[in-house]
């Protein structure tokens, strides 16, 4: 090879390596057993530091999981115009709440990010434009539950935002496009609450086991049945079914992460519920394992 041609080749090698990495984190990984997907009812931020039945439920499920190579989290607490994915090397821990004890604000979850995984998420989405985000980080919908599943914070995590311009069917469709990630060792987690009406919480009955308003009990029963059947289409239109469901889901952001999990379900996947309890009359902590 001529010297000038050889030098030109050396000059472009770093660029080629970068492009190869950006073509996809996952495409370079060997196939692995299909990962399950999780919906976690995260509840109060205090669950990050308290010891209760719900966090014990998170840890019990974590003990059954294969160790993921990376995590994609869809949290109720990151809504954007358009869809975004975190792509920074070290996402910050966001304390996106007020009025809690100082020890909660001292909690850090220093999991690394992964720009390559963010690129793969972008590449898999054919119907929805996804853009990189370098400003957000990990909000409490992500870190308050992940710290119980993976307390060492040594697994890369990226967050995928909730696009306020997508309808529920659009969220289901986007989830389905991410299916390949499950076969490459990536754990996908949705974090929210299925029945979530903070305006009607009976604060004086938070410690009354099983207390629920009639409409909350109706919504929980129907939605749980649809989850176990795998009826994603009905779950996507549930808010139109009447007053019980409009009260249970007054705004969509805490419910939509469930649709990502149901959109990733295949006919071969088992579905089970855990932490399936009412709280304060107008909330549920119901969580779901698919696969």
Which domains does the chain show, CATH number per domain? Answer: 3-290 (3.40.830.10)
pLDDT at 142: 98
pLDDT at 257: 98
Please give the model's pTM, rounded to 2 decimal places. 0.89
Instruction: Express each pLDDT in 131-155 by its tens digit.
Output: 999 999 999 999 999 999 999 999 9
Residue 91: strand, helix, or coil? coil
Beta-bridge partners for 65: none
Torsion on CA atoms 62, 67, 69, 74, rounded to nearest 10 = -10
pLDDT at 147: 98
pLDDT at 181: 98
Computed over every residue of the chain, the mean pLDDT equals: 91
Beta strands in 1-147 (DSSP E): 37-41, 70-80, 83-86, 130-133
User: Which residues of the chain fall short of a pLDDT of 50?
Assistant: 1-27
Distance, CA of 157 to CA of 135 (rounded, Å): 15
Closest by Cα among 57, 64, 80 to 135 = 80
- The secondary element (H helix, E strand) that includes residue 86 is strand 83-86
* Tally of CB atoms within 10 A around 151: 11
pLDDT at 280: 97
């Amino acid at each position: 090879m001529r010297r000038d041609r050889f030098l030109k080749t050396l000059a472009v090698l770093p660029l080629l390596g970068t492009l190869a990495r950006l073509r996809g984190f996952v495409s370079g990984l060997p196939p692995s057993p299909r990962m399950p997907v999780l919906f976690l009812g995260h509840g109060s931020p205090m669950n990050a530091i308290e010891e209760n039945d719900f966090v014990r439920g998170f840890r019990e499920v974590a003990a059954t999981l294969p160790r993921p190579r990376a995590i994609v989290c869809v949290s109720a607490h990151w809504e954007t115009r358009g869809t975004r994915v975190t792509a920074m090397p070290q996402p910050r821990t966001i304390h996106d709440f007020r009025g809690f004890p100082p020890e909660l604000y001292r909690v850090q979850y220093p999991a690394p990010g992964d720009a390559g995984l963010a690129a793969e998420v972008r590449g898999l989405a054919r119907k929805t434009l996804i853009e990189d985000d370098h400003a957000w980080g990990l909000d409490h919908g992500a870190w308050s539950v992940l710290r119980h599943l993976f307390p060492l914070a040594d697994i890369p995590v990226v967050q995928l935002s909730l696009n306020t311009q997508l309808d529920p069917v659009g969220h289901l469709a986007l989830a389905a496009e991410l299916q390949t990630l499950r076969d490459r060792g990536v754990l996908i987690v949705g974090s929210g609450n299925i029945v979530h009406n903070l305006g009607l919480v009976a604060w004086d009955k938070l410690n009354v086991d099983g207390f629920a308003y009639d409409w909350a009990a109706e919504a929980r029963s129907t939605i749980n049945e649809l989850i176990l059947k795998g009826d994603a289409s009905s779950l996507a239109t549930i808010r139109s079914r009447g007053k019980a469901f409009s009260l249970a889901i007054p705004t969509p952001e805490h419910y939509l992460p469930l649709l990502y999990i149901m959109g990733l379900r295949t006919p071969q996947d088992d579905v089970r519920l855990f932490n399936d309890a009412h709280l304060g009359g107008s909330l549920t902590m119901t969580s779901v394992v698919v696969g």
